[in-house]
Amino acid sequence: MTTRIVTILNRAGIHARPASLIVQAAQAFESSIWIEKDDVKINVKSIMNLLTLEATYQTKLTLSAEGPDEDDAVIEISRLFENRFKEE
């Protein structure tokens, strides 16, 4: 399992557009991919799960993946967070 801490850097947090970008990126990978906030762990291949997470600006999340392409999955999704989902 590959794990990385990511921080939400865009001011609007995870709303419909960033959630859609995360889901699209995650679906390109065979691995199972999760994001954890506090004690809530969700599958990032579901947009509804991401939207109900209520992840706002400066929230730290644990991103993890398990499977044959787990390293690539974590790197790719981490880049979305680092690039502020191309919003700013």
So which residues are the catalytic ones? 15
CA atoms within 13 A on the CB side of 63: 27
Taking a C-beta distance cutoff of 8 angstroms, is the pair 42, 62 a contact? no
The stretches of the chain forming alpha helices (DSSP H) are 16-27, 47-52, 70-82
